[in-house]
Amino acid sequence: MTEPLLQLTGISRSFTAGDREFLALKNIDLTINAGEMVAIIGASGSGKSTLMNILGCLDYATAGSYRINGRETRDLDNQALAELRRDYFGFIFQRYHLLPHLSAMHNVEMPAIYAGTPEPQRHARARELLARLGLEGHLTHRPSQLSGGQQQRVSIARALMNGGEVILADEPTGALDTTSGKEVMRILLELHAAGHTVILVTHDPKVAANAERIIEVSDGEILSDRRNERDITALNNEDVVPKSTAARRLVASLGLFKEAFNMAWVALISHRMRTLLTMLGIVIGITSVVSISAIGEGAKRYVLKDIQAIGSNTIDIYSGTSFGDSRSAAIETLVPADAAALNQLYYVDSATPVVGRNLLLRYRNIDLDAQVNGVSDLYFQVRGIKMESGIQFSESDARRQAQVVVIDHNTRHRLFGEGVDPLGQVILIGNLPCTVIGVAAENKNIFSSSKSLNVWVPYETAAGRLLGQRYLDSISVRIKDGQPSKVVEDNVNKLMLQRHGTKDFFTNNLDSVMQTVQKTSRSLALLLSLIAVISLVVGGIGVMNIMLVSVTERTREIGIRMAVGARQSDIRQQFLVEAVMVCLLGGAIGISLSYAIGYLFSLFIKEWEMVFSLGSVLTAVFCSTLIGIVFGFVPARNASRLDPIEALARD
Ligand code: ADP
Ligand code: MG
């Protein structure tokens, strides 16, 4: 044998307690060869566990050199130390240190998960080890469902999972009754016989008597190191799981991710109430984000639909410089020829002249004051007015100044009441008798006053027979579908300027109203998003808070994981996954809640509904993940930076 397996030279370990330094190990020189069975004995507080932890790379020496197979450990980083623990050492603790939430199988498999052993192989080996230790009937039992001796056997199986070339057992029988203690010792002897190096800490001389070498420690120094005569059974070779290689890294990281996921799940459901409270902030945040954006979108669509109904795609041209211009009444330059010219424009679907006046309507003994509009046959198309009954007037009606009229729904009711068919009836408009040929359908939207009375006669009739007015009040232009209203408005302006030579008109486009609505809803959405973001941040802080508590609470678990070979990155990943999972779960609940609100909303409000978009749902999922990562980071980092020894000492 060229290199000793484990070689300590001048190892010291000091602890600082307050402002005093305490030397737990003083200048220890020790060599242990492969295949030895060593018992370390000594009084309580003599430094046995400290020595053991340094041997197992769980703790570090403050001075001296420790070589494993000739490799100096002093300069290794955390990751390399974790890999050494994982691949060479198997720890057995006095208090078993099993993870309480996991089955015996899962506890045993843990070192292999961190080593990246594929699942089938892992299962098979764990099952085989447990069977060999007489636990085949307890594979799915939790630690709390097992006796002390059984738990210790599970922890022995765990120590052997990755091969366990060096078994480090710190008072393995200390917490067991005599029978179970003997059983555990028998197993350790068998392992030694099978070629494992076994290092055993005990204060019981009877236990130590099983070893071939006994080292006595007192006050941090080696008092004696002597051979112990006893029978050594023949060695038989034991299969050792191959060490992890670079090629297995991918399998390893996938396995670890799955493990992190499983563990997160276990942690979440074993603290349901706390998980729920942790999620509450996220749930409220996500619910408000999703439902507010759905309400906003729904309201916007409702308003825009109404605007579209009156014709967002229309442009009105008036005389004067703007609404309220006192001189506009004197401007008489807007003429039917303008409307005709506009009709020729490519962008224009239709254009109609409009003149209007309040006049008296009379049918039998009923008088009504109504707005009488002279328009072209295109007007109904321009305004998108549908007919309830009858027909609109035609171009030929216009040409011969026919005395025909289309009345609106309200006028029909006021003039004729129920039971009289208005079509074909003659009414007086001013002094002009006109035949009712059509009734316009009621226009239900938020912009039209439902009480106003409107009737429409051909423009020519109005101009020639009713008003005696040759100029127009306005021209209404309907924009061809799909044309940008801004461009069309510019073109209309250009044409009108050309025809009039001077800007004695102005245009008004409902598109600007629509844009205002959109702009308003955008800034409203921004404001609401801000509130939502604030609530999400508050939720995130809640998650961070609980995660920090959880890390503190699970310090021992983290220590155990590190002892069986978890690297810092593995621990960090586990807690990050947990944080993200809490947030995603909260997000999912939030989204469902929003849909529930949407459903309730639809029960009570009929006019419009909340509109959920895939975008807002995706945003919610993205936000949840982000919050999990951002606010899970600090707790996860704290967890990964724990010192395994201190973590294990915690209860
Ligand atoms: P043993 O296992 O032999 O009972 P330990 O190795 O656990 O003894 O401890 C040896 C001495 O080192 C004890 O006096 C103990 O108080 C001290 N010690 C151990 N760990 C720490 C620590 N993390 N901080 C301070 N003192 C410690
Ligand atoms: Mg101890």
Q: What is the pLDDT of residues 528-555, one digit of tens each?
A: 778 878 888 888 898 898 889 888 888 9
* Nearest CA among 474, 445, 464, 438 for reference residue 312: 445
Residues 498 and 523 in one domain: no
Distance CA 59, CA 354 (A): 94
What's the length of the chain?
A: 651
Residue 172 has pLDDT above 60, yes or no: yes
Query: Lowest mean pLDDT: which of 78-87, 174-183, 238-247, 463-472?
Result: 238-247
- Can you tell me whether residue 421 is helix, strand or coil? coil
Residues 158 and 222 in one domain: yes
1 lies in some domain: no
At residue 293, the pLDDT reads 83
Distance 560 CA to ligand 2 centre (A): 16
Name the residue with the closest Cα to ligand 1, atom 13: 45
At residue 651, the pLDDT reads 63
Q: Determine whether the shortest distance from the Cβ of 640 to ligand 1 is under 6 A.
A: no
Distance 44 CA to ligand 2 centre (A): 7
Predicted confidence band of residue 233 (pLDDT cuts 50, 70, 90):
very low
* Nearest CA among 160, 521, 194, 496 for reference residue 334: 496
Quick one: tokens of 596? 């529930």
CATH of the domain at 85: 3.40.50.300
At residue 241, the pLDDT reads 40
Distance 647 CA to ligand 2 centre (A): 15
Q: Determine whether the shortest distance from the Cβ of 48 to ligand 1 is under 6 A.
A: yes
Name the residue with the closest Cα to ligand 1, atom 24: 15
Q: Determine whether the shortest distance from the Cβ of 476 to ligand 1 is under 6 A.
A: no
At residue 236, the pLDDT reads 38
Residues 454 and 340 in one domain: yes
Q: State which H helix or E strand residue 363 sits in.
A: strand 348-363
Distance CA 549, CA 566 (A): 21
Residue 108 contacts residue 126 (beta carbons within 8 Å):
yes
Q: Determine whether the shortest distance from the Cβ of 599 to ligand 1 is under 6 A.
A: no
- Can you tell me whether residue 315 is helix, strand or coil? strand
Distance CA 148, CA 145 (A): 10
Residue 70 has pLDDT above 70, yes or no: yes
311 lies in some domain: no
Residues 122 and 211 in one domain: yes
CA atoms within 13 Å, Cβ hemisphere of 505: 29
By the 10 Å C-beta count (0-12 exposed, 13-18 middle, 19+ buried), 546 is classed as buried
Residue 234 has pLDDT above 50, yes or no: no
Residue 39 contacts residue 213 (beta carbons within 8 Å):
yes
CA dist 302 → 104, 259, 297, 299, 523 (Å)? 60, 49, 9, 5, 17
Q: Determine whether the shortest distance from the Cβ of 202 to ligand 1 is under 6 A.
A: no
- Can you tell me whether residue 479 is helix, strand or coil? strand
Residue 203 contacts residue 42 (beta carbons within 8 Å):
yes
Q: What atom of ligand 1 comes closest to residue 51's alpha carbon?
A: 6
Residue 280 has pLDDT above 70, yes or no: yes
Residues 499 and 535 in one domain: no
13 lies in some domain: yes
310 lies in some domain: no
Give the domain-ending residue among 503, 526, 554.
503
At residue 235, the pLDDT reads 36
582 lies in some domain: yes
Residues 540 and 497 in one domain: no
170 lies in some domain: yes
Pocket test for ligand 1, best of 46, 170, 650 (most atoms within 8 A of CB): 46
Residue 237 has pLDDT above 70, yes or no: no
- Condensed to tens digits (0 to 9), the pLDDT of residues 358-405 reads 999 999 888 989 999 999 888 888 777 888 889 989 888 888 889 999
Q: Determine whether the shortest distance from the Cβ of 20 to ligand 1 is under 6 A.
A: no
At residue 258, the pLDDT reads 82
- In this prediction the pTM is 0.70
Q: State which H helix or E strand residue 480 sits in.
A: none
Residue 243 has pLDDT above 50, yes or no: no
Residue 33 has pLDDT above 70, yes or no: yes
Pocket test for ligand 1, best of 25, 28, 49, 200 (most atoms within 8 A of CB): 49
Query: Lowest mean pLDDT: which of 51-55, 415-419, 498-502?
Result: 415-419
- Condensed to tens digits (0 to 9), the pLDDT of residues 616-645 reads 889 888 988 999 999 999 999 999 999 888
* Nearest CA among 233, 197, 234, 232 for reference residue 39: 197
338 lies in some domain: yes
Q: What atom of ligand 1 comes closest to residue 15's alpha carbon?
A: 25
Q: Determine whether the shortest distance from the Cβ of 24 to ligand 1 is under 6 A.
A: yes
Q: What atom of ligand 1 comes closest to residue 201's alpha carbon?
A: 2
* Mean model confidence pLDDT for the chain: 86
Q: What atom of ligand 1 comes closest to residue 46's alpha carbon?
A: 3
Report CA 45 to chain centroid distance, whole Å.
Answer: 50
Q: What atom of ligand 1 comes closest to residue 42's alpha carbon?
A: 3
At residue 255, the pLDDT reads 75
421 lies in some domain: yes
At residue 470, the pLDDT reads 82
Residues 491 and 558 in one domain: no
Name the residue with the closest Cα to ligand 1, atom 22: 15
Residues 212 and 101 in one domain: yes
Distance 221 CA to ligand 1 centre (A): 13
Residues 531 and 456 in one domain: no
| Phi, then psi, of 72 in degrees rounded to 5 | -70, 130
Residues 476 and 624 in one domain: no
Ligand number nearest to the C-alpha of 17: 1
Distance 50 CA to ligand 2 centre (A): 7
* Nearest CA among 219, 261, 280, 262 for reference residue 42: 219
Predicted confidence band of residue 251 (pLDDT cuts 50, 70, 90):
low
Residue 347 has pLDDT above 90, yes or no: no
Query: Lowest mean pLDDT: which of 91-105, 140-154, 319-333, 464-478?
Result: 319-333
* Nearest CA among 491, 518, 520, 521 for reference residue 507: 491
Predicted confidence band of residue 246 (pLDDT cuts 50, 70, 90):
low
Name the residue with the closest Cα to ligand 1, atom 25: 15
Residues 498 and 579 in one domain: no
Predicted confidence band of residue 516 (pLDDT cuts 50, 70, 90):
confident
Higher pLDDT, 321 or 215: 215
Number of domains in the chain: 3
Predicted confidence band of residue 144 (pLDDT cuts 50, 70, 90):
very high
Residue 432 has pLDDT above 70, yes or no: yes
Residues 580 and 467 in one domain: no
Section 249-277 average pLDDT: 80
Q: Determine whether the shortest distance from the Cβ of 17 to ligand 1 is under 6 A.
A: yes
At residue 238, the pLDDT reads 40
Domain residues for the domain of 166 are 6-244
Distance 555 CA to ligand 1 centre (A): 19
